[in-house]
């Protein structure tokens, strides 16, 4: 019979055990519901152009593309999705926050 020591700290978890049942999986929350992952920031590009960058959008690529289309339409601007980050031409932080809030997502501004 093998025995193992279990840490009493709440931030640790059991990685491997030869006995007993597997620990129950915790249900992961939808990203952006608690505001911990969706970030909105302003980025300056060459020739002093301004781009609004939204990172941490939830869902697979098709859902992100649909959400990007809706946000571009709400802001009345062009943009693209690169490396799972949405880039909108211009400063549209307030409009993006309002549109995400209307869809049930919480966002947070990052950067200065």
Q: Is the dihedral of CA 33, 39, 40, 45 positive or negative?
A: negative
Tokens 């049942």 locate to: 21
Is the pTM higher than 0.95? no
pLDDT of residue 2: 53
Residue 34 lies in a domain: no
- Residues 40-83: tens digit of each pLDDT: 999 999 999 999 999 998 888 899 999 999 999 999 999 999 98
CATH number of the structural domain spanning residue 49: 3.30.780.10
The number of folded domains in the chain is 1
Tell me if 71 is assigned to some domain. Answer: yes
Q: What pLDDT score was predicted for residue 94?
A: 95
Q: What is the pLDDT of residue 34?
A: 46
Contacts of 36 (CB under 8 A, 6+ apart): 108
């Amino acid at each position: 019979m093998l025995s193992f020591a279990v840490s009493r700290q709440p931030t640790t978890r059991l990685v491997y055990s030869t006995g007993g049942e597997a620990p129950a999986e915790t249900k992961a929350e939808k990203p952006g519901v608690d505001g911990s992952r969706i970030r909105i920031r302003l980025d300056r590009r060459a020739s002093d152009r301004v781009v609004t960058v939204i990172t941490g959008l939830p869902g697979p690529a098709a859902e992100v593309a649909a959400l990007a289309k809706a946000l571009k339409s709400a802001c009345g601007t062009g943009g693209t999705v690169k490396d799972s980050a949405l880039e909108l031409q211009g400063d549209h932080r307030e409009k993006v926050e309002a549109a995400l809030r209307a869809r049930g997502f919480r966002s947070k501004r990052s950067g200065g």
